[in-house]
Amino acid sequence: MRFSTSVIGILSVVLFTRCNETGHEFHLSGDSSWEAGVEVEKGVWLPFPFQLHLQPDTLIELRFGEEVIRVDEVKLMPDSFFIRLPLYDSEIRGKRKEGEAGLNGRWYNLSRGKDYILPFRATLVQKEEIKPLPHADYTGRWKVVFNETAPDAYNAIGEFQQSGGTLSGTFLTETGDYRYLTGEATDSGFTLSRFDGAHAFLFACRLEKDGSLSGTYWSGIHSKETWKAVRDDTFQLGNADSLTYLKEGYDRLAFTFPDLEGHLVSMSDPAFQNKVVIVQLMGSWCPNCIDESKFLKEMYERYHDRGLEVVALCFERTDEFEKAVRNVNRIRERLSIPYRFLIAGTADKNAASAALPMINRVMAFPTAIVVARDGRVHEIHTGFSGPGTGIHYMDYKEKTDAMLQELLAQGTP
């Protein structure tokens, strides 16, 4: 699909809506604001602003709604720059010229292979552009369908909050959310985007005469989908607790995988006996898995002394054990996660399903399998709607906390 002129117009004003005074030299000192972007399609740039701090250490801050991503592996040389994104196997490299108010380079998403490369550019913001506020207001709840006419069509819920010309929100699907998104609203449509080193999401749409939305969604350079939305306060998605289940004849999990030191760990090990166990299917490349890991860390620290264990089965974007361990160790150490991680296979849902043949299928990373003290599977939750979903995240936390308290109170039959 190609954009209509109106949607192209929306995109054209998004990336560099703040002005830099070209032709004037600048010198980096103190704090500065930048407008950056990566090119997801020829002429289509995914925008993301960042703050650059030079004291006491060089630091970049990416802001998406309430989320602040601190990037502390930054090197600015006289003729080049290097930015290593936190948590993920992802980096930005390029050239700079002293005195020029810009950076040009490439983003390398190494978790997707050495050839996954997108153009990157950033411009120093020296003057804010004041724009007229839109009359259109996109605040509210929307029923969304992606790829409406295709066999792989799927539903979502869009929840947006608008303040002046600034829009924030997310899309919720049956397998998780698109995390914190921010963007710009105009009378003809809006854009929402995020860039964290793993995800590179861009949603752009036009406002139709009937009040509906028609747009396109890019995920990096590997995925492009159409979407439509109408306001709907009552539409609900499928129950995430019933999408993944044990096949007939099974009531418990069985697996054996190596931990990060290469020692084999099994579900039948004494460490998991008479314990409530959360088995997390995840990957170090997956931001939604990181959101869930932070939550599971909170639950583990709260209830470990009462008999809760958590074990993460990692499905990685490499079949090299040592590289998989490095990637998993990076998030484990950065987030100070105390529970155990196992290398379970490659990041393929079919492979994950084959590794756990008692499950109907692995639909999403992450998936959380809750096992009661008697070893029987109590619940399987597909996907994860994280803090970017607001009240939905809080409801899930309360529900899960109550479930764990109930299971921990039960003794061995």
Long-range contacts of 207-210 (CB under 8 A, 24+ apart): 207/136
Q: How confident is the model at residue 29 (pLDDT cuts 50, 70, 90)?
A: low
pLDDT at 24: 40
For residues 41-45, give the mean pLDDT.
98
Q: What is the pLDDT of residues 272-302, one digit of tens each?
A: 999 999 999 999 999 999 999 999 999 999 9
The overall average pLDDT reported for the chain is 92
- Tell me, yes or no, whether 167 and 297 share the same domain: no
Q: What number of CA atoms fall less than 13 Å from residue 366's CA on the CB side?
A: 29
Does residue 191 carry a pLDDT above 90? yes
- Tell me, yes or no, whether 264 and 325 share the same domain: yes
How many C-beta atoms surround the C-beta of residue 104 within 10 A?
Answer: 15
- Is 250 a member of any domain? no
CATH of the domain at 396: 3.40.30.10
Out of 6-15, 132-141, 383-392, pick the least confident. 6-15
Q: What is the pLDDT of residues 242-280, one digit of tens each?
A: 999 999 999 999 999 999 999 999 999 999 999 999 999
pLDDT at 21: 40
pLDDT at 36: 97
- Is 92 a member of any domain? yes
Q: How confident is the model at residue 1 (pLDDT cuts 50, 70, 90)?
A: very low
- Tell me, yes or no, whether 260 and 303 share the same domain: yes
pLDDT at 220: 98
Q: How far is it, in rounded angstroms, from Cα 207 to Cα 228? A: 10
- Tell me, yes or no, whether 160 and 101 share the same domain: no
- Is 208 a member of any domain? yes
- Is 105 a member of any domain? yes
- Is 377 a member of any domain? yes
For residues 29-45, give the mean pLDDT.
93
Does residue 22 carry a pLDDT above 50? no
CATH of the domain at 26: 2.40.160
- Is 373 a member of any domain? yes
Q: What is the pLDDT of residues 343-382, one digit of tens each?
A: 999 999 999 999 999 999 999 999 999 999 999 999 999 9
- Tell me, yes or no, whether 260 and 378 share the same domain: yes
- Tell me, yes or no, whether 391 and 333 share the same domain: yes
Q: How far is it, in rounded angstroms, from Cα 305 to Cα 284? A: 27
pLDDT at 130: 78
84 in Cβ contact with 75 (< 8 Å): no
- Closest alpha carbon to 196 in 87, 282, 76, 93: 87
- Tell me, yes or no, whether 394 and 262 share the same domain: yes
- Is 249 a member of any domain? no
pLDDT at 28: 62
- Is 29 a member of any domain? yes
- Tell me, yes or no, whether 58 and 100 share the same domain: yes
- Tell me, yes or no, whether 272 and 389 share the same domain: yes
For the chain, how many structural domains are there in total?
3
Q: How far is it, in rounded angstroms, from Cα 125 to Cα 131? A: 15
- Tell me, yes or no, whether 275 and 305 share the same domain: yes
Structural domain containing residue 366: 256-409
pLDDT at 13: 40
Helix (H, G, I), strand (E, B) or coil at 73: strand
pLDDT at 3: 38
